[in-house]
Amino acid sequence: MARNDDFFLNRWIEYYGRQFGHENLYIYLDGLDQKPPEKVGNANVTVIEKQGVKVVDAEKRRLDFLSDRAAERFEDGYDLVIGCDADEFLVVDGDSENNLPQYLSSIKINISVSALGLDIGQHLTKELPLDTSKPVLQQRNYALINSRFTKASIIAKPVRWGRGFHRVNGHNFHIDKNLYLFHLGNVDYKMLMDKFNSQDIIARGEQAHYKRARFRVIDIISNKNAVDGDKIFAKARAIQTIFRPIYAWNKPSMLKMKWIVKIPDRFKNIEL
């Protein structure tokens, strides 16, 4: 589900369309004022009534709606369903010989599987503003390992997603060793600032969240030393598997640790 997010949504359609075929993409535009994106192709696009204004109410309604739609896809005969936002891209490790659908078909998924969340952000002193005509990963080199994006995105049966796809209600999670979820929402400071000042964000009361979370990611990436991701990816998966928030046993946690990684070069050729 997306609203006023054509930049990421067009890239989402291109990326997942190459992986799974456009006809297997289901996009729900949040609000009758929304228009289909340019590169929709054969994707299934439905414009719906706006799912609320204030963020907590809107998120609950959004994920209830999407959980119901996912259940319908299983009724249609799909083996797996992926739920993710327009700025989230599931990637198989660059060393794998399989693409995403091949890899997902090769592993056993009982309820759900999660990818390690990498929150990519602009390094303000080392990286230029994003050139939107070029792939993102050729311009961005750093990410925060962020358990908020180690989401239960991939499901093998009808479930109820918690807000933001962060968990599957009533079930545990499993982090796969070869899957990553690249969150691109913070890849460009100016783009983020424009969204921060948009009427949608103001109306939803999300400006405080942007200051606390999104701009904070750019600040941390710009001011902390990065380590080679391959040296700590496995450790991060172990920490997130063992430690859980007190209020949600079925969500991963990084114990407030802020680990910045240099994205391995083998991911540079992935077109996002």
Tell me: pLDDT of 55 over 80: no
**Alpha-carbon distance values, 226 to 58, 126, 133, 187, 220 (Å):** 36, 12, 27, 16, 10
pLDDT tens digits, 8-20: 999 999 999 999 9
Rounded to two decimals, what is the model's pTM? Answer: 0.94
Q: What is the DSSP string of 49-107?
A: ----SSHHHHHHHHHHHHHHHHHHHHHTT-S-EE---TTEEEEE-TT-SS-HHHHHHHS
Q: How far apart are CA 223 and CA 218, in angstroms?
A: 9
The token pair that represents 160 in the structure block: 């109820």
What's the whole-number mean pLDDT along residues 50-78? 88
pLDDT tens digits, 196-223: 998 888 887 888 888 888 999 999 999 9
At 254, is the pLDDT very low, low, confident or very high (cuts 50, 70, 90)? very high
What's the whole-number mean pLDDT along residues 174-195? 96
Task: Tell me how far the alpha carbon of residue 59 is from its chain's centroid.
Answer: 15
Contact of 120 with 184, CB cutoff 8 Å: yes
pLDDT tens digits, 103-137: 999 999 999 999 999 999 999 999 999 999 999 99
pLDDT value of residue 171: 96
68 HSE (CA, 13 A, CB side): 6
Tell me: pLDDT of 240 over 90: yes
At 146, is the pLDDT very low, low, confident or very high (cuts 50, 70, 90)? very high
Neighbours of 252 (CB within 10 A): 28
- Does the CA dihedral 264-266-267-268 come out positive or negative? positive
The token pair that represents 114 in the structure block: 């999660």
pLDDT value of residue 50: 83
What's the whole-number mean pLDDT along residues 153-174? 96
What's the whole-number mean pLDDT along residues 247-256? 93
pLDDT value of residue 56: 67
